[in-house]
Amino acid sequence: MFFTTFAIGFAAKLYTVNVLNPQGLAIEPKEADLLVVVMSQAFTPSWIAALPVAGALAAGMSTIGGLLMVIGSGLGNDIYSTIKPNAADKSKVRAGFFFTALGGLVTIILALNPPDFLLTSVIWAFIVASSTFTPVLILGIWWKGANRLGAISGMIVGGALSIALLVDQGQPVWTAADSSWATGLPGHGNLQRLSRLVRNGGREHAHGWRKG
């Protein structure tokens, strides 16, 4: 499967250069994913070519359904329970259904006329989330010396640096991979440093003072 992916990529490149470009059908680099559909239509029957499209639609629908469930459970259970701590379970379930439907309605309205910042916001979310949570996920599992203060500091440093890189009219300065390296590594380092300070000298030492 791994080598097949590379083989398909090279075949798509050759097909673009030898077939599409002479016909004036150039594909922009940002639209390279369209080669999957183009290659399917060129070399397979129509019913097989429809499978990648169906898979993409199924993936989109499952993602939307999962996110709507998260919205409904988060607002209907966590937020609603905080506002009304004595609410009955049936009320929480109804609130979850209501917020799920509301989220779906808002999604439909936005899909009818998608705003320009929608794609940018998705890129922001991936960059900030990876820079914020990756140090905690990796070191929290594989390093026994990680602790609470170190995890919090790593999240703050990684998240703050990723937000600082998102300048230039809302577009990332670097690619998502480059920015993850630039912000994730300082987060890792800060998590390890503060965790060692807390472990070796106690919380007072980490804050720069000791009890007399």
pLDDT mean values, one per 10 residues, the chain (212 residues): 67 68 64 70 76 83 88 84 84 89 88 77 78 84 84 86 67 52 77 79 48 46
- 72 and 16 co-located in one domain: yes
Backbone torsions φ then ψ of 197, nearest 5 degrees: -65, -45
Residue 74 sits in the same domain as residue 139: no
Question: Which of 48, 53, 19 has the alpha carbon at shortest distance from 34?
Answer: 53
pLDDT value at residue 1: 57
User: Which amino acid, one-letter code, is at 20?
Assistant: L
Position 206 scores a pLDDT of: 46
Q: What is the pLDDT of residue 123?
A: 75
Amino acid identity of residue 139, one-letter, is L
The whole-number pLDDT of residue 25 equals 62
Residues 39 and 58 in one domain: yes
State the pLDDT at residue 212.
44
Q: Which of 112, 135, 167 is the last residue of a domain?
A: 112
Based on the fold, state whether residues 29 and 49 are members of the same structural domain: yes
DSSP 8-state symbol, 147: -
**In a shared domain, residues 58 and 153:** no
Measure the CA–CA gap between 148 and 195, rounded to whole angstroms: 8
Q: What pLDDT score does 117 carry?
A: 74
Residue 181 domain flag: yes
Cβ atoms of residues 165 and 172 within 8 Å: yes
Q: Out of 81, 97, 112, pick the residue that ends a domain.
A: 112
212 in a structural domain: no
What confidence score (pLDDT) does residue 169 get?
Answer: 46
Q: Are 102 and 11 found together in one domain?
A: yes
pLDDT at 105: 92
d(CA 128, CA 126): 6
Q: What domain range includes position 133?
A: 117-206
Instruction: State whether 105 and 174 are in the same domain.
Output: no
How many domains does one find in the chain? 2
Rg of the chain over Cα atoms, rounded to whole angstroms, equals 24
9 belongs to a structural domain: yes
One domain, residues 132 and 187:
yes
Let me know whether 102 and 144 are in one domain.
Answer: no
Q: What pLDDT score was predicted for residue 98?
A: 92
Q: Does 211 map to a domain? A: no
**pLDDT for the residue 173:** 47
If asked whether residues 95 and 191 sit together in one domain, one would say no
